[in-house]
Structure 1
Amino acid sequence: MNTAQPPQPPFPAPLRLRLVPQGALPRPIDGAWWPRSYDLLAELPSLLAGLPRTWGHVTSVTVNGAVWPTTAGRMLVFNQVVQVHRSLAASAPHTVVLLAPGQGRWDLLVVPPDTTAEAAEPLMAAAAGSSTGG
């Protein structure tokens, strides 16, 4: 008996990321990311690949431990080690913090994966400082 495998999508799903325009004044949030799941191992590579090259190599990621399931303390992403930290700070349950030595720190609003497109779009636009989709 053969077991049919579910069809794989021909292309990876597009990254749902909206960033504050370059040159904008410093803000507490640098944009918004709408992952498709809370599986950091699956989601982090596409996020890091979609970041501007000017951000440099992100070596540390901090996520909220109450929202994201337990993850390894280190991940290999594109042949680079990324330290993963879990914070239990109640002040930022829906953010991810990205650090690149010598380049900076970026805080992104995390739109929960189960959010509808109608609800996610205004959240992402507001986090990126725009009122239109993109």
Structure 2
Amino acid sequence: MSATFDRRLPRQSQPEIPAARITLKPKDDSRGLLDGAWWPRSRDLMRELPALMDVLDPLWGRVTRIAVNPTYWPAIPRQVPVHGHVVKVGWFTAELDPHKILLLSYSVGRWDLLVIPPETSPASAERLMAAASGDAGLPLTASALMAAAYEDEDAAASADALATGLPEPVVPGRPEPLIVGT
């Protein structure tokens, strides 16, 4: 007696990758230190880069290399497969702002995006995205924009605490306020 086995596995559907949350300056606007902002859903480059490249490749040409500062990325792969090509990944500590990602294309050029931390509230992320892709005000570095956003959130939290009589909330990743004279 003989048996025939079908060794093909059932086709597994790929989980749908959510679209990248990104804002960009208009192509003709070359002012400023940033070309826009990116708000990833996690700190996993292997998971986040394909969605980012889905948006950027048609607009800017194929991105071939990126550089990040490892301060906020727990794992940095050497390369990330992205829809039929590979994006090489480098990292720099002193040379690259920790809140920025640098993207390179051999055919088109270089772009710098503010990286908004995944845990940022939607309202704060919206303000940061508008600031990084807009032309209002002085051009700021990625870290300067993040510091300004933290100051705005701290001021709003202090005002809320005064109005309600409740203590200010502790925000993870931000130093606790220094209380003097208690």
- Higher strand proportion: 1
- 1:53-82 alpha-carbon deviations (Å, 9 max, x no partner): 241111101111111122221121112111
Which SS does the other structure have where 2:71 is aligned? coil
2:56–2:63 CA contact under 8 A, matched in 1: no
- The answer to whether the aligner puts 1:102 opposite 2:107 as a matched pair is yes
What residue number does 1:19 align with?
24
- 1:37-66 alpha-carbon deviations (Å, 9 max, x no partner): 000000000001011624111110111111
| 1:86 Cα offset (Å) | 1.3
5+ residue gaps, structure 1, are 1-9
Picking from 68, 87, 103, the partner of 2:73 is 68
What is the TM-score of this pair, normalised by structure 2? 0.62
- Higher helix proportion: 2
Structure 1's 52 and 102: CA in aligned 2 closer, same or farther, altered over 3 A? closer
Q: Which 10-residue stretch deviates more, 93-102 or 65-74?
A: 65-74
Which SS does the other structure have where 1:41 is aligned? helix
Identical pairs, percent: 44
Structure 1's 26 and 130: CA in aligned 2 closer, same or farther, altered over 3 A? closer
Could you tell me which amino acid in structure 1 is paired with residue 55 of structure 2? G
| 1:106 Cα offset (Å) | 0.3
**How many residues of Structure 1 are paired with residues of Structure 2 in the alignment?**
122
**Residue pairs, 1:116-131, within 5 angstroms:** 116-129=121-134
Could you tell me which amino acid in structure 2 is paired with residue 13 of structure 1? P
5+ residue gaps, structure 2, are 1-14, 137-182
In structure 1, distance between residues paired with 2:59 and 2:82: 18
**Residue pairs, 1:26-105, within 5 angstroms:** 26-51=31-56, 53-89=58-94, 92-105=97-110
2:18–2:51 CA contact under 8 A, matched in 1: no
- 1:84-103 alpha-carbon deviations (Å, 9 max, x no partner): 01111275110000000021
Could you tell me which amino acid in structure 2 is paired with residue 95 of structure 1? K
CA RMSD across the alignment: 1.9
